[in-house]
Structure 1
């Protein structure tokens, strides 16, 4: 990452009854490649009487990618999917023309102290897939490509890079990868990445052009093809990005589209209860504006 275009700090935001650090979108950087949204969840310790309860809410025009470092979440959606995600696995939900889902603490953890820490991305869909049928897939942790190279431990969580391909069924050219090191190392990713690229530092620090950067921010590079950085011992970082879309993506609440009129239609559909609901769910998140 020889030249830093922008540093984006976490800003506090709420999802349901849980506080997160929002990284994307940013007023000066709305997306990195096809990634239009990024929340850093936690790290948090929840007491026995505290649980994650994100009530049913809708999406269109995007895929959500959930990846945990600690804890567990139960996903339920309007196409009937029910899946528990644990650290290292991937939940990939494609909203397409419309889906509703909830995210909650699993029942067996609800009366105990528990931890929760992870990332959730929204990935925009290419224009020709924005109205595709909704779908959901859960990928277990042992199915994610993992390898060691020059004393760096890699996992390719989604997309294609480093001559490898993740089983997560993405719709455009992108990558989301984990890099860990036990000893101080140079991570030279030159030629391995493409499009726009950003670096999220989970723990430890990286050094670029003599400047040290720590957690709770993303670094956006101008030249993904020349991405390199020094990692302190014990560091964990995530690099993500890919080819940007030709058309701008607009966001209205939980809706993403290349067409502003489609956002208006989705808003009206939610306000007037025209979205399908996850089986067994009755409460919903209201649209946060005048209806």
Structure 2
């Protein structure tokens, strides 16, 4: 019997002045382990007059993980952080009870042609930590654990797996793993995984149970401990997941919580502009009348 329980196709989504490929949430699968939101940005060719400009916007109840393949993004937040993220590094921002940030093309790139390509990920916090103090951690590419195994290059971007732990400070049992195979390989990694597990194909293809799957798909495993597959040449995949959180999570726009009332209060606080400000930033992204992530009727 196939170990693939579900296939999620990438769907186009508009985040303001930039189109992305939405992977999670999905109507039939809201979360994979604690992972509640994944956007694939690009690859986008931006002209000298085109820039990424996601203005000040809030988050609660989650950690954001930004991982770039190409390009550069300037991150600023209400904690006073101002950090440029480049390919292979990790921006890990924990919103907790509330944080505001912006994401823009750095000033020195704003008048040149450039490319932007990467992943934007949200990881829900455990219920007891949803109201924790916000924090920010930047981990350089050189500090991400990486090794060769069975003809593949493996990077443990966050979490714990393969007997290793990433320096990214996660708050529940989870993993986010990059696997690159220059030559086709058979990989059996289930013994290193736990909880729920999803496999995202960025480039190339994989063969599993006699079927071939290509880019821009997430394959959800029925049993993560049975995760095995064969890759073709020049394939890049990401394995993500971990122990699911026991409580249901609600999501509205950039707000995640196990408590609907907390989301309603966050909506009111943002409308009244009582969230903290970002030093050096002006303006803000208005609260949408209906969440672009989940329809109002889905918040029960």
Once residues 2 and 34 of structure 2 are traced to their aligned partners in structure 1, the CA distance between those partners, rounded to angstroms, is 22
Does the CA contact (< 8 Å) of 1:88 and 1:141 recur in 2? Answer: yes
* Matching residue of 1:102: 102
* Matching residue of 1:36: 36
Once residues 211 and 163 of structure 1 are traced to their aligned partners in structure 2, the CA distance between those partners, rounded to angstroms, is 30
Does the CA contact (< 8 Å) of 1:10 and 1:21 recur in 2? Answer: yes
* Matching residue of 2:212: 212
Task: Please state how far the C-alpha of 1:222 moved relative to its aligned partner.
Answer: 0.6
Equivalent positions of 1:20-35 (< 5 A) are 20-35=20-35
Q: Residue deviations 1:111-137, cap 9 Å, x none?
A: 000000000110000011100000001
- State the Cα RMSD in Å: 1.0
Task: Please state how far the C-alpha of 1:14 moved relative to its aligned partner.
Answer: 1.5
Once residues 90 and 254 of structure 1 are traced to their aligned partners in structure 2, the CA distance between those partners, rounded to angstroms, is 20
* Matching residue of 2:223: 223
Question: What TM-score, normalized to structure 2?
Answer: 0.95
Once residues 2 and 140 of structure 1 are traced to their aligned partners in structure 2, the CA distance between those partners, rounded to angstroms, is 38
Secondary structure at the counterpart of residue 55 of structure 1: strand
1:249 aligns with 2:249: yes
Once residues 150 and 60 of structure 2 are traced to their aligned partners in structure 1, the CA distance between those partners, rounded to angstroms, is 41
Number of corresponding residues: 290
Equivalent positions of 1:193-212 (< 5 A) are 193-212=193-212
Does the CA contact (< 8 Å) of 1:2 and 1:228 recur in 2? Answer: no
Equivalent positions of 1:111-130 (< 5 A) are 111-130=111-130
Once residues 79 and 116 of structure 2 are traced to their aligned partners in structure 1, the CA distance between those partners, rounded to angstroms, is 26
* Matching residue of 1:190: 190
* Matching residue of 2:263: 263
Unmatched segments (≥5 aa) in structure 2: 291-300
Q: Residue deviations 1:65-91, cap 9 Å, x none?
A: 000000000000001001000000000
Once residues 162 and 2 of structure 1 are traced to their aligned partners in structure 2, the CA distance between those partners, rounded to angstroms, is 24
Once residues 23 and 150 of structure 1 are traced to their aligned partners in structure 2, the CA distance between those partners, rounded to angstroms, is 29
Task: Please state how far the C-alpha of 1:282 moved relative to its aligned partner.
Answer: 1.1
Equivalent positions of 1:1-291 (< 5 A) are 2-289=2-289
Task: Please state how far the C-alpha of 1:280 moved relative to its aligned partner.
Answer: 1.0
Q: Residue deviations 1:86-123, cap 9 Å, x none?
A: 00000000000000000000001000000000001100
Secondary structure at the counterpart of residue 278 of structure 1: coil
Secondary structure at the counterpart of residue 69 of structure 2: strand
Once residues 150 and 3 of structure 2 are traced to their aligned partners in structure 1, the CA distance between those partners, rounded to angstroms, is 23
Q: Residue deviations 1:179-215, cap 9 Å, x none?
A: 0111110111021000000001110000000100000
Task: Please state how far the C-alpha of 1:2 moved relative to its aligned partner.
Answer: 4.9
Query: Deviating runs (4+, > 2 A) in structure 1?
Result: none
Question: What TM-score, normalized to structure 1?
Answer: 0.98
Once residues 203 and 261 of structure 1 are traced to their aligned partners in structure 2, the CA distance between those partners, rounded to angstroms, is 41
Q: Residue deviations 1:147-193, cap 9 Å, x none?
A: 00111100000000001000000000000000011111011102100
Does the CA contact (< 8 Å) of 1:2 and 1:229 recur in 2? Answer: no
Does the CA contact (< 8 Å) of 1:16 and 1:55 recur in 2? Answer: no
Task: Please state how far the C-alpha of 1:16 moved relative to its aligned partner.
Answer: 2.7
